[in-house]
Amino acid sequence: MGRKRIRDIRHEEFVEATITAVHERGYGVVTMAEIAREAGSSAASINYYFGSKEGLMEATMRHLLRLLRTAMIEGYSQASTPRDRLLAVMDANFSDSLYSVEKCSIWMQFWANAPYSPRLSRLHRINRSRVRSHFTAELRRLVPQPQVETARTALQSYMDGVWLQAAQSDAPLDPAAAREAAHQVVDLVLPR
Amino acid sequence: MGRKRIRDIRHEEFVEATITAVHERGYGVVTMAEIAREAGSSAASINYYFGSKEGLMEATMRHLLRLLRTAMIEGYSQASTPRDRLLAVMDANFSDSLYSVEKCSIWMQFWANAPYSPRLSRLHRINRSRVRSHFTAELRRLVPQPQVETARTALQSYMDGVWLQAAQSDAPLDPAAAREAAHQVVDLVLPR
DNA sequence: AACCATTTTTTAAATCATCATTCAATTTTT
DNA sequence: AAAAATTGAATGATGATTTAAAAAATGGTT
C-alpha cells in the first residue's frame, strides 16, 4: 500500500512548489534551490524524483493539463445541448481551480518556452488540438458552415488572450466574473 | 553630423540581432555572446551601448512598440469611419512588418517576462492601455453602450490570442490572411 | 594633404557570481 | 537487514559585467 504513496506525495508537493516558485520568480530565472526551499526540501531530492529541471517542468505542465482536462470532462458530462457544451469548454478554462493569477502566469511561461522545448511543445500541441476539436464539434451545430472556423478562432483566441492578460494582473482574479464575461462573448458571436 | 550616426546604427544593429537571437534561442536562454555574434560584434560592446542585458531588452521592446505605434498611426490617419478606424487598429497588429513568427515570438517572450521586470511591465501597460482606448473610442459609436466593454475585450483578447498562436507556428505567417480573418471576426462581433 | 590631440568605439581577458547536477554518506522506511 | 529517501558538499559549466588597453574616427591646424 505505502509503496507508491511517498513517491506520489512528493511528486505533488514538488509540482505545487514549482507552480508557486515559477509564479514568483519567473520560469527562466527560478532555481532548483528556490523550488526546493518552497517545498521544504533539497535540490538533490528533486533530481532524485524528476531526473532534471526539465523533467520537473514537464511534470508540472502535465499536472496543469490534467486539471484542465478534468474540469472540461466534468462540465461536459453535465451539458446536454451544443450550446451548453460549448459553454462548458469555456467554463473549464475559467474554472475556480485554474483561473488564478498564479496558474495563468505559469501557463504563460510554459507557453512562451514551448517553442524551445520539444517536450513542452508536444504537450502544448496536444492540448490545443483537443480544445479545437471540442469547439469545432459544437459550433458545427450552432453556426452556418462557412462561419464555423471564424467563430472557433474568435472564441479560442479570446480564451487565450484573457489568460494572457490574467497573467499580468496584480490583483486576484474573479473566475465567476470571467465565466460571465465569456458567456457574453459567446452571445455576441453566436447568431441569436 | 556623424556624431550621432554610429551610435544610432549600432543601436539598430544590436536590436535587430536581439530579435533574431531571442527568437532562435528563447529570452531566458539567449546569451550576450550569442546576440553579439549575431550582430558581428562583441558582448562588451553591447554593454557599452546599453549598459546591461536588461537595457538591451528594454530597447528592443521599445523598438517593437514603435513599429506598432507607427503602423497604427498610419492606418488610423487614412480611415474616416469608426468602423474603418477599428479595422485600422486591428490591421496594424497584423501588418506585414509586425505579424511574423519572429516578431510574435519575441513579443510573447517579453509578455511572459514582463511581470518580473518593472521596465518591461511599464512599457507593456502603456501599450495595452493605448490600444484599449482606441478600441473603446470607436466601439462607443458602433455598439450599444452595455456591450462596449464586452466587444472590446472580445476583440482585444482575440488579437492577443492570435499572436500567442502565431508565436508557436512552425510555418511562415500570412499577414493578409490574418487581417482578413480579423475582419470576419469584427463582422461577427458587430451588429450588422 | 599630413599631423597631432582628443574623443569614441572595440574587444580580449579577467572577475565574479550563479546553478544544475552528481556523489558519497546518512537517515528513514519497509 | 535491505531498500528507499534525503541532503551537504563537491563538481563542472556557464555567462554577465568590468577593466584595461588598443584601434578607429574626428576636428582643428598647418
Amino acid making up residue A75: G
**What is the share, in percent, of chain A residues with pLDDT greater than 90?**
88
How far from the centroid of its chain's Cα atoms is residue B114's Cα? 13
Q: Which residue of B has its CA nearest to A30?
A: B28
What is the full DSSP assignment across B114-160?
GGG-HHHHHHHHHHHHHHHHHHHHHHTTTS-HHHHHHHHHHHHHHHH
Per DSSP, the three-state class of A21 is helix
pLDDT, tens only, A81-113: 999 999 999 999 999 999 999 999 999 999 999
Vertex B51 angle, CA B48 and B56, to 5°: 100
- What are the cell numbers at B7? 551610435
Residues of B in contact with A150 (CB under 8 A): 181, 184-185, 188
- What are the cell numbers at B104? 510574435
pTM: 0.92
Can you give the length of chain A in residues? Answer: 192
Q: Do A164 and B111 touch (CB under 8 A)?
A: yes
Mean predicted lDDT score pLDDT of chain B: 93
Q: Do B112 and A165 touch (CB under 8 A)?
A: no
* Residues whose CB falls within 8 Å of the CB of residue A65, separated by 6 or more in sequence, listed in order: A123, A127
Asked if the model's pLDDT at residue B1 lies above 60, the reply is no
The rounded distance, in Å, linking the Cα atoms of A21 and A30 is: 7
The rounded distance, in Å, linking the Cα atoms of B160 and B68 is: 14
A31 touches strand D (CB under 7 A): no
Distance to chain B for A145, nearest Cα, Å: 14
- Give me the domains of chain A, ranges plus CATH numbers: 1-51 (1.10.10.60), 61-189 (1.10.357.10)
Residues of A in contact with B153 (CB under 8 A): 158, 162, 181, 185
